[in-house]
């Protein structure tokens, strides 16, 4: 009896440490969960659809299992139908495999096997290419700016030439008018 009292005290201390001074709330929570579970059980027992669903949960879990298809015994006739349905796809895959087999000597060549040895060199070349692309972009931008400036300058010169042409035409017209009036 003393041992039982000691264990009860120890349990009370642990509950106090775990729940604080509110072990009653924990009990109330457990009671509420039990009531909810009982209510759900009562509701489900009253509804036939829910009863049927509960009975089928095991079957549903079995069907949802990814390895379920592997465990099904399929008749040979059904397997033959699957194969015949995929005949065109199988032929295309065979053709692709034959192409790969023809290319196998190339894939197993010393050049392909040496690719890992050249990876550092390729990385250096990639870096150089990136830098050159950046330079090319900068040059392209500079050329575009220069072309814009050239176009502006050409437009301004064209306008200036048109103005000079108009002025020259006016002066020539004025010069021709003066001598005829003398």
Please give the backbone phi and psi of residue 7, each rounded to the nearest 5 degrees, phi first: -65, -40
Q: What is the chain's length?
A: 182
State residue 26's pLDDT score. 61
The most confident of 52-56, 105-109, 141-145, by mean pLDDT: 141-145
- Cα separation of 168 and 172, whole Å? 6
Signed CA dihedral, 137, 143, 146, 152: sign only: negative
Average pLDDT over residues 153-161: 96
Which position has the higher pLDDT, 16 or 142? 142
Which position has the higher pLDDT, 58 or 144? 144
User: Is there a contact between 25 and 19 (Cβ–Cβ < 8 Å)?
Assistant: yes
State residue 164's pLDDT score. 95
Indicate the pLDDT class of residue 129, thresholds 50, 70 and 90. very high
Average pLDDT over residues 165-175: 92
State residue 55's pLDDT score. 78
Give the residue among 36, 14, 32 at the shortest CA–CA distance from 23: 14
The most confident of 20-34, 61-75, 110-124, by mean pLDDT: 110-124
Indicate the pLDDT class of residue 154, thresholds 50, 70 and 90. very high
For 80-91, how does the pLDDT look when each residue is reduced to its tens digit (9 = 90+)?
Answer: 888 889 999 999
Distances (CA, A) of 27 to 22, 31, 143, 176: 9, 6, 82, 121
Give the DSSP letter string of 43-89. Answer: HHHH-HHHHHHHHHHHHHHHHHSTTHHHHS---HHHHHHHHHHTHHH
Average pLDDT over residues 146-157: 96
Q: Is the pLDDT of residue 98 over 50?
A: yes
Q: Which two tokens stand for residue 123?
A: 């990385």
Which position has the higher pLDDT, 8 or 133? 133
- Cα separation of 115 and 121, whole Å? 10
Output DSSP code: residue 114. T
Q: Which two tokens stand for residue 118?
A: 């050249």
State residue 182's pLDDT score. 47
């Amino acid at each position: 009896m003393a041992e039982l009292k000691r264990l009860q005290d120890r349990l009370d201390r642990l509950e106090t440490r775990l729940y604080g001074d509110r072990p009653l709330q924990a009990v109330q929570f457990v009671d509420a969960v039990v009531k909810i579970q009982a209510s759900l059980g009562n509701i489900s027992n009253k509804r036939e659809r829910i009863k049927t669903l509960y009975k089928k949960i095991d079957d549903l879990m079995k069907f949802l299992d990814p390895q379920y298809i592997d465990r099904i015994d399929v008749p040979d006739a059904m397997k033959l139908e699957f194969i015949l349905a995929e005949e065109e796809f199988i032929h295309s895959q065979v053709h692709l495999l034959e192409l790969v087999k023809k290319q196998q000597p190339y894939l197993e060549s010393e050049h392909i096997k040496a690719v890992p040895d050249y990876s550092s060199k390729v990385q250096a070349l990639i870096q150089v290419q990136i830098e050159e692309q950046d330079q090319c972009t900068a040059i392209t931008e500079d050329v575009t700016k220069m072309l814009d400036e050239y176009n502006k300058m050409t437009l301004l010169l064209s306008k200036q030439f048109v103005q000079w042409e108009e002025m020259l035409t006016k002066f020539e017209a004025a010069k021709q008018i003066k001598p005829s009036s003398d």
